[in-house]
Homo-oligomer: A and B are copies of this chain.
């Protein structure tokens, strides 16, 4: 299931959600929390989920920073990865024993384009680039990533997600997809995407957790990420809740969930009333 818009909205838990999740656990269902946010490690996401009174352990969480590290591990990557992204990505790489560069390196060093060219000092061990949301993105960082991706056609190119923008404190800011676009344009290369709705993420989750797609339901509040992810990822069910991005269901949608309910909290109320 998705988190923001499904479990909580901003800083407020959605009524009945804690009860619903406890009920599902008591029925023996497994829960997996999937988020495109690459600026938080699994530990931080867990802390946030628990802060709302929701039970959750780290193995149940798939953030896109973690997914990038799991992907590299899955292809037995043993070189260095250059990270255009935040500490969270570095931290997930470190946890899985993957060596990285970038992150706080090459950020905010004021240089002219000529100076950037002259000062490029590439690491010959870098054979992968991961790009996510990065509040300290800089021209030198993009230049390094561009160098690695164009110099070596086999250099792995990962994007944590391609969300074009994201809501923060009532404003919208450029998303990871905005930064990924810079590299896509300058290099002409397409990344492997590790956020919803990318199929690669679903394959990774199925492989890592051993869930059975024919007995799994994706719960989300967005059609173009969550519901598409479940539908195209081959899950048996997709459940749209109307507590987030989609407030009202209209028939003229092209992405169709198998089920729709007003709120995830309704499941607990339903059981309380009928059983």
A interface residues with partner B (beta carbon < 8 Å): 39, 107-118, 120, 133-139, 142-143, 146-147, 150, 164-166, 168-169, 171-175, 177-188
Contact = CB atoms under 8 A, between A and B. Distances in A.
B138 A108 contact: yes
B146 A135 contact: no
A30 to B, nearest CB: 31
Given A117-B169, A139-B174, 11 more contacts: A107-B108, A110-B136, A111-B135, A113-B168, A115-B135, A137-B137, A150-B172, A164-B185, A177-B185, A178-B186, A181-B185
Number of copies: 2
B173 A116 contact: yes
Given A136-B110, A138-B138, A143-B173, A165 B186 contact: yes
A188 B181 CA distance: 12
B137 A171 contact: no
Contacts of A142: 137, 174, 178
> Which interface residue of A112, A133, A181 has the most chain B CB atoms within 10 A?
A181
A54 to B, nearest CB: 22
Contacts of A39: 112-113
Contact of A146 (B108, B110, B172): B172
16 contacts: A107-B108, A110-B135, A113-B133, A113-B166, A116-B173, A137-B137, A137-B138, A139-B174, A142-B178, A146-B173, A150-B172, A174-B183, A175-B186, A178-B185, A181-B184, A182-B182
A250 B37 CA distance: 48
> Which interface residue of A109, A116, A166 has the most chain B CB atoms within 10 A?
A116
Contacts of A178: 142, 146, 182-183, 185-186
A146 B117 contact: no
Contacts of A146: 165, 172-174, 178
A90 to B, nearest CB: 15
B118 A169 contact: yes
Nearest to A184: B181
Contact of A171 (B147, B172, B173, B175): B147
Contacts of A183: 174, 178
